[in-house]
Structure 1
Amino acid sequence: MITTPGLLPVGDLVAAVDGFLAASPATRAWDVETAFDWAAADAGRLTEGQRSAVQFVTLIEDHLPGYFDVYHRHFPVDDSVDLPTFEHNRELYHFTVRWALEEDTHARALARYQEAAGIADRDTLRSELAVEGHKPFDLPYDHPVQFFAYALVQEKATQIYYQQLRDVVADPVLAAVLTRLSRDEARHFSFMADVVTRYLRHDGDAVVAPIRDVVANFRMPLSDTLRGYWRWALRIADVADYDHTAAYEHLVKVIDRAVDARTEPVDELVAFVDSCRTLA
């Protein structure tokens, strides 16, 4: 059995998970079948670029099995780890299964919109999603905090994009879908921000280098596997005036709230994150 170094104390993780679940009661849940007036969906009200954006984000969201598997492999809940590690990972699992359910709902909602609005028929879309979904996904990290720092940026960037795309589309059904998605992504970001905050307060400068490495090598999901990713990503960014590094300022805010007084390594981290945003 192995022990995973660098794990957050289980009490801190429990508090973060409990906070997320308290902010996600069953009364706030929504389902694909009844939340939207699918009969009114009309891709004819979208520009070509907006339709392309819907197709792109559907592919990204639908890769959920690969994203979920990352947590299963790096935070296993089986006899490959010792009991203290299992205890930590089992608490995290309470979050990841709820997160996975919500992300899978996002994928289904976007696919349903494509079908209802006339962008794609269901059989063709299912086959297209399978081609990309079949490809592996991983995050090449060594320190546990990196998985949460990566997701902090990714969830916030996704939230921002959904909000900005919503503000420019003319189909009320798609706007309603994007509103639901962005609210969920905001809660996912809040959880990741809470965990990263707790890491900074508990481990201080010891997690600065791992977080810096995440920003230095950051790529949005599927950037290395989706054919034509960069050309497509630039196109959809123009549709909603989007830049994923806008999420970096929110990472800086998390860092500032987490530390009572900046150390030299934290100052250097903030300066580096700011420079990445400025360069973009």
Structure 2
Amino acid sequence: MHRTQVGGALLPVGDVNAAVSAFLRTSPPRLRWDVDFDFDWSGADANRLTDGERSAVEFITIIEDHLPGYFALYEKNFPVDDSVDLETFTHNRELYHFTIRWAQEEDTHARALERYQVAAGIAGADELRVSLAQEGHKTFDLPYTDAVQFFTYPLVQEKATQIYYQHLRQVVGDPLLREILVRLSKDEARHFSFFADMVRLYLQRHGDAVVGPIREVIADFRMPLADTIRGYWRWALKIADTARYDHTEAYDHLIKVVNRAVDAKSDKVDELISFVTACRVLQTT
């Protein structure tokens, strides 16, 4: 794999360690869950779902199953090998403690949704593997050059995903699927908290220097795979008819992070808050 070190300012290693340690403490062994042992798969029943709910399950399975592509993005931009100097390696190695746990949890989400589809009768195992592979082998990339952007994007994405899972679990007819969505939404909330911590630390350490890169993320934000899944926007509108699907709901949470990070706001920070607010209003009217 070609290695490139992301540009822009990096956080001090101590800050990264603090954020990673806080995240890891949110998932002690007794609170972790397992696909094979924590659900009664015999109770899965797609007959309890509407066509829209089935479609939503299929959609989010594809999104979660693309985990290898998401993880590869962090491997590429925050490499842990001799392509970077020792100081950068130390920073990236601390971040890796998070990304490896995050990847394991997201892969568990993909396995749970795949298992549900098969157990509920939505799809056959072989058929589903092939359809997921057709999407999964497509390259996922983000057009960013600054490190802070690789935390801002998932801050919004993870919170938007969490919110959608909460909306979806309120309407689905199968109790087992509701149980799965509860587990997934709790994990996504924890992931959001890590990325929120990182963005907060960037704003506290680097102030106005990271405002522009953060703004760029919001200016052209798209949820994962929006440019690779065939018929993505039609599908997104369809699942939104089943349960509210609006990534801009997460913008309010980004604004809260900015407000908490900065006591005395500069003109640039004020403009950022106004811009994010305007994007939220524009896309919901």
Match of 1:79 in 2: 82
Question: Could you tell me which of 114, 132, 150 is aligned with 1:129?
Answer: 132
1:158 is the counterpart of 2:137:
no
1:60 is the counterpart of 2:63:
yes
Question: Could you tell me which of 256, 260, 266 is aligned with 2:259?
Answer: 256
CA offset digits 1:3-47 (Å, max 9, x no partner): 954111111101000100111111111110111111011111111
Instruction: Give TM-score, length-normalised by structure 1.
Output: 0.98
Gapped regions of structure 1 (runs ≥ 5): none
Match of 1:9 in 2: 12
Letter in 2 for 1:45: R
What is the distance in 1 between the residues matched to 2:144 and 2:18? 24
SS state of the match for residue 192, structure 1? helix
CA offset digits 1:175-227 (Å, max 9, x no partner): 00000000000000000000000000000010000000000010100001111
Decide which moves more: 98-107 or 35-44: 35-44
1:274 is the counterpart of 2:277:
yes
Aligned length: 280
What is the distance in 1 between the residues matched to 2:145 and 2:11? 14
State percent identity of aligned pairs: 68
Match of 1:30 in 2: 33
Alignment of 1:126-275 (within 5 A): 126-275=129-278
Match of 2:44 in 1: 41
Instruction: Give TM-score, length-normalised by structure 2.
Output: 0.97
What is the distance in 1 between the residues matched to 2:240 and 2:106? 21
Report the alpha carbon displacement of residue 87 of structure 1 after superposing the two structures with TM: 0.1
Moved beyond 2 Å, runs of 4+: 1-5
SS state of the match for residue 168, structure 1? coil
Does the CA-based 8 Å contact 1:3-1:82 persist in structure 2?
A: no
RMSD (Å) for aligned C-alpha atoms: 1.1
What is the distance in 1 between the residues matched to 2:52 and 2:240? 10
What is the distance in 1 between the residues matched to 2:6 and 2:110? 34
Gapped regions of structure 2 (runs ≥ 5): none
CA offset digits 1:144-168 (Å, max 9, x no partner): 0000000000000000000100001
Cα gap change, 1:86 to 1:171, in 2 (>3 Å): same
Cα gap change, 1:93 to 1:231, in 2 (>3 Å): same
Does the CA-based 8 Å contact 2:5-2:79 persist in structure 1?
A: no
SS state of the match for residue 144, structure 1? coil
What is the distance in 2 between the residues matched to 1:19 and 1:88? 16
1:117 is the counterpart of 2:120:
yes
Letter in 2 for 1:240: A
Letter in 2 for 1:100: A
SS state of the match for residue 267, structure 1? helix
